[in-house]
Every structure is written in structure tokens, then in C-alpha cells.
Structure 1
Amino acid sequence: MKRRVLCIFVLILWGLVFCTMLSVRIEQLMIPEVVLTQADESELSPHIALDSLFFDDTGMHLYRPREGTGWETGTRIYEEEINNYSVGENQLDLKFFGSYVRYASKPLRSGDEISIKSDLENRDDTWLAVFPEGIPQLPGALTPTAEAENALLFNVTDTPQPFMADRAKSTILPVTELANENAGSFYSLSDVKSFLSQLPLLAALLSLSLFVLILWIYSFILSRRAKENRAKLIFHGVLGILALLAVPLILLHIALPSSLLPQYRITDVAYYMREFGELFSALNILAKSSRESTELLQYAGKMQAMTLVIVGFGIFLGVIFILIERLVRNKSVKKEKQ
């Protein structure tokens, strides 16, 4: 009985350490990336660009960065009181000078910890714009390279990174249309490809966990005769420790793009189904006239297949490991009888 309790305790301990390392990495990945803007102090009255406003179901918001205190350490954003700014014709008139959030990699809420991006890297990219209610009249700042029903593709050169949907919208749409319900959803195909490239690493984590679970189940059975199977149990324990040491190495290489992550929970399945459903539906339509769409769909298929193979390999490895151990044991028993 004590041996079984110890075996269960070992699994719980392994799981706790695994979940702790995973939660730390998730917390890092979920921090929104933002770009700041600052009111020009040489002007008589402070003002910033109109696209610094953020819109959601509750209305419009303006955010300012501030260093957190107490438990809320790090740089955080706080909503500016609505009586401290007013919407002008082509600008946002302010009461106070200072720094304000202009763009963000995903929706914000007051109190969120943020990562400020100041030294931005530029690269070529392809943007996908999806307008569920139909493509609006565009000012012509950028010419789409492909068009189909309610989706457009734009090839952009030397665009700042990381990708931020609001910045892309400001480039394509008139500022006055940003709050419109048909402002659409904007995606970076580079970010989508980057997200897909991380699937094998996520699969490796799952595969590793399944291997350890299978190993633990077998160890639990062996623990009934702990004295006879002491060497095997110790070996299984060493394998479990090695597997745990591999976890942070995998986590360090996982870098999911912030623009494709949900606002609150990284495990928000409904969000992924909605966003990627819309995204891949548009790509399938555009594939007839766009090489980029076709290539990305093919890449997605490869990553999906690789993910399934890696997960299956973890299960296969665990089962094969047990079968080999049992085969070796049976051979040794036969030799002893002879």
C-alpha cells in the first residue's frame, strides 16, 4: 500500500513541476506587445494620432503605461479617464502630455502587464483582411494582390514587427472607419506560419507527457513486487527525471506569435476555432488566385501531419519500451529455469 501511495505521489510531483514550468512560459507568451506614442511637448496643446483609441463591446478606450506596484510588478497599462481626452477631427486631444499606447498585438484590458516594443524590426509580410459583411470602400493606400468574396491579400514591404492588427487596419482603412463593426479582421501570414511551425514543439510536450504517463502506469504495476523490480523502477525514475529536464528546453523554443493568441486564456479552444476557422476559410477561397495562400495551406497540412506523428511516436515509444522490457524479462526467466 505504501509503495502505491509513493508511486502516486511521484506522478503528482512530476505533474506539479511540469505544470509550474508550463505556466511560467504561458504567462510570458500571454503578455501583450505594444507600441507607444507620445504627445509632442513642443506643441501648445497635447495631442496624438486618432488610431491610439481602442474599441470593444464596452466602447472606446485610451491606455497609458505605468510601472506596477506591490504584487502587480512590471510595466502595466491603465485606462485614461474619458474626461482627460476628446476626439478631434483627425487627432485625439489630450489634457496631459506623456506616453500612450498606440498599437497592441491583441486586445487590452486595464491592469495588463505589457511588453513595450521600441526598437522595431522591419520585414516583408503578407496581410490577410477578412470582412464578414463585405469588402468596404478602401482609400487605395495599398493595392490588394488577391481578392475573393469577403477577403483581401496585401503584400507589404519593410513593415514593422511584431505584427499588430490595429496598425495594419490603420494602414489600409481610413481612421474614421476603425471603430466600424465592418473594420474586419487582419492577420499576418508570417505570424500564421510561425504559429504553425510551433505545433511540432507543442506535440513534443504532449508526447513526452504521454510517454511518462505510460511509463508510470507500468511502474505502478511493477511496484506490487518492488523488491524484484527495484532496478527497473529506479531506471524508470531516471527516465522520468530526464524527461522533466527536457521540458524547459522545449518550452524555451516555443514562441507563439502574440497576435494569434487569445486575450485571457491560452487554452481558449472556442477562440482558436473561430479565428483559425475564419482564417483558413478565407485562405481556401483565395488559394485559386494566390500563391501565398496555397503555400500556407500546404505548410499547414505538413505541420498537422508532423504533429500527429510526434504524438503517436510518444505513445508508440512508451508501448515499445514496455514490450522490450517484458521480452527481456521473459528471456531471463527462461534461462533461469534451464
Structure 2
Amino acid sequence: MTVAEELPSEIDTGLLRDALNEVRRVIVGQEHMVERLLVALLARGHCLLEGVPGVAKTLAASTLATVVGGEFARIQFTPDLVPSDIVGTRVYHPSREAFDVELGPVFVNFLLADEINRAPAKVQSALLEVMAERQVTLAGQTHPLPRPFIVLATQNPIESEGVYQLPEVQRDRFLFKVRVGHPSAHEELEILHRMSVAPPTPRAVLDPARLAALQAMADQVSVHQLVADYVVRLVMATRSPAEYGLTELEENIEIGVSPRATLGLVAAGRGLALLRGRDYLLPDDVRDVAVDVMSHRLMLTFDALADGVDPEDIVRQILAAVPPPLVVWNQGPR
């Protein structure tokens, strides 16, 4: 591959902008959520959306699936769900005296796991192989999922009845955890005007093949050694905060983030850089995605949980304490 082929072309960057604008044509406000969803696609990562009902979490996921193209399925998670409802099962046919494998609804490009914290532990654990390996094993046979594949999950943070908290190992499988808040007064008025009469219908801008090419292009985004070192320092600050002048965090952090956070910071930063039209990663890209990549991976102490310490605030303290490097890229003629 030549250097020219590795650089993001104007056409590819324009397609990403068109896809982003098409989602924004349907979704009013929620700029942060919409951008993170597209970055998760470029980084091949799963995304967990947390917010109260009615803030367009499900609409954003279904709209993005339409804009990007590919197959889409929505599973409404409930307490009576069983693993075979999502991954599939074997069905016996008496006429042939044989079993057939019936694949479940996870065999799509975009899987919306709606209210994922309403499903019991067995169902949540059934998603681990799906999310980590992008495959399903049934009756001793492995069935690969379509590519690209991404899980977009939603959960309600204020629900308490019939809710099963996601275990740490499953939260770690999500690249992002994005908090979705209420719209502003101006956005609320725009929602009323846009959605109360004839809601806009999204159109397909990309297709799975083009998305796969963009994902490969994101993999080629250059990462300077200083930026890689900065990513590692951010991660190590969650494990040994005293070494970075953050002694007060030692009583709040039980276990720091996993190596998946290190990989996630680089992958998400690369996707964000490509979305911004660059073929190189800047420390600002890493800082912009750090809260969404790291906060849900922190395990807090019992006292911190009892005091209501927000893990996002901890990540912001780390970002303020760990200085970013000064990286100057050579912007010569291409």
C-alpha cells in the first residue's frame, strides 16, 4: 500500500460527514452521543448508552444502522429472556429425525440490546462470546457473525425493579459508555417542530463494504510514540495514582482500568481522528474519548460507592494531572 493510499481521501472524509449529518437530520441535539456511535463503528467497538427513557437512545441506534446500511435487529431485554432467545438453538424435526440449528437474532450487522440491564446473568453472559469473539457456538459448531458487527446497548440508570447490574467483565467489553442527558430548551422546541408532524426518514449513505474499508483506514491512522506513551500514562494513573500526584484517589479506586482501556483509547482516538479528517492521532483525540473509554472500567472502593463518587470525575482528575505531550506532525506536501 502506498503512502497516498493510506491517507484519508476527501471522498471518504466526505462520506463520514454525510453519514454524521444524516443521523443529525433525524436526531435533534445529542451531538456527543451521535459522534461516539460513529466513532465506535470505525473502531469496531461496542457502545453502551445510559440515559433515562425518551432521550432518543433507541432512535439513534436504529437511525445509525439505516444510514450505515446492513442488517439490523432489536432485542428487548426482559427478565424472562433465556440465552437461546438471542443466540439460537437446536430444533428437532420429527419428519427427518434430525436436529437443525436455528440461528438467533444476533446474526446481524447491528444489534440493539435494548435495556440490557433487565436481562438476567445467563443472558448477559451469552453476549460475552458474541461481543468478544464475534461468533456463536451451538451444538459444538462455531458460527461466525456477519462483518461488520457491533452491539449498541441501552440501559436506564434510575430503574431499580427487575434490573440486573452488568458485571464488570461485561462492562469491560464495551468500548464506550456514553451518558445521554435531557435536551436543552432550544432542542426540545426543535424536537417538537421536527417530530410532531412528519418525522424525517434516514437514508443509507454507506454500506457494509464501504464501512469495512473505512475501518481499515482507521487502523492506518498514525500513532506517535509520544501519544502512545501518553495513553499508557493515563492508564497507569488509574492503577498507581500516587505516582502521578493523585494520592487522594487511592481511597476511591479499588482496581484500575484493564489493558482493554489502553487498546480502546488508541482505537477510539484513531476513529475520531479519521472522522475529523486526519491520518494521525493527536493527544486531544485521546483526551476527548478518555472519559467514555475509561470511566465504566474503573472499579471503585466500597466507601467511594457509598459516597456517590462519580467515576467520570475521577477520569477528569487524571486528565488534569497527567500532562499531554507536545506532538508536532510534519505536514509536508502529499
The verdict on a shared fold, with TM-score over 0.5 as the criterion, is no
Whichever of the two has the greater Rg, that structure is: 1
Which structure exhibits the higher relative contact order, with contacts defined as CA atoms closer than 8 Å and separated by 6 or more residues? Answer: 2
Q: TM-score, normalised by structure 2?
A: 0.25
Q: TM-score, normalised by structure 1?
A: 0.24
